[in-house]
């Protein structure tokens, strides 16, 4: 039976590839989803790939993941730096959580250096572009394999 992983994206990531390519690159979120789906098939994972500009919707999806998913890859976008509510929801999820940032948040403004989500994340990837999503999926595949390394 294949394992389901949620890949969750926060506010404004629907604009990926359409604005600020010097920071976030030229790939669209649809491109990222396609790459994730190709890799997930190789890893024998199913993915639910979603984006929302609404905090409550992301929280509801994390609750849904509690019932259905083995892991979560999440780019919470600006909610990273503000949302105790998303942290609380992730704390109620039992599987591995990998936090992804396309840009190197530590090279940017000071307000991006703190992440509430990092208090829960099992791993954090920043500054590796959209490849971070693929690395996050690989890590979840390994952590949820029968004999994790």
Query: Which among 37-45, 55-63, 102-110, 134-142 is the span making contact with ligand CA2, rule CB under 6 A?
Result: 102-110
Minimal distance in Å, beta carbon 125 to ligand CA2? 10
Q: Is 24 a catalytic residue?
A: yes
Q: Which of residues 31-90 bind ligand CA2 (CB under 6 A)?
A: 75, 77-78, 80
Q: Compute CA distances 132 → 34, 42, 66, 123, whole Å.
A: 14, 17, 23, 11
State CA 120 to chain mean position distance: 13
Which single residue is written with the structure tokens 């959580």? Answer: 97
* Annotation marks residue 114 as catalytic: no
Where b means 16+ CB within 10 Å and e means fewer, 2-29 reads ebebbbbbbbebeebbeeeeeebbebbb
Find out whether 112 is annotated in a ligand binding site: yes
Residues that bind ligand CA2 (CB under 6 A): 12-13, 15-16, 19-20, 24, 75, 77-78, 80, 101-103, 105, 112
Q: Which residues are catalytic, by number?
A: 24, 101
């Amino acid at each position: 039976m294949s394992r389901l992983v949620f890949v969750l994206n926060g506010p404004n990531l629907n604009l990926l590839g359409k604005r600020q390519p010097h920071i976030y690159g030229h790939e669209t979120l649809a491109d990222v989803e396609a790459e994730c789906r190709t890799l997930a098939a190789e890893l024998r994972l199913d993915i639910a790939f979603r984006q929302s500009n609404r905090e409550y919707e992301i929280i509801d999806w994390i609750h849904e993941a509690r019932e259905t998913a083995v892991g979560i890859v999440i780019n919470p976008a600006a909610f990273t730096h503000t949302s105790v509510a998303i942290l609380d929801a992730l704390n109620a999820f039992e599987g591995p959580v990998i936090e992804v940032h396309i840009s190197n948040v530590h090279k940017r403004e000071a307000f991006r250096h703190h992440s509430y989500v990092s208090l829960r994340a099992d791993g954090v990837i920043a500054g590796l572009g959209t490849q971070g999503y693929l690395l996050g999926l690989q890590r979840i595949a390994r952590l949820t394999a029968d004999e994790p390394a």
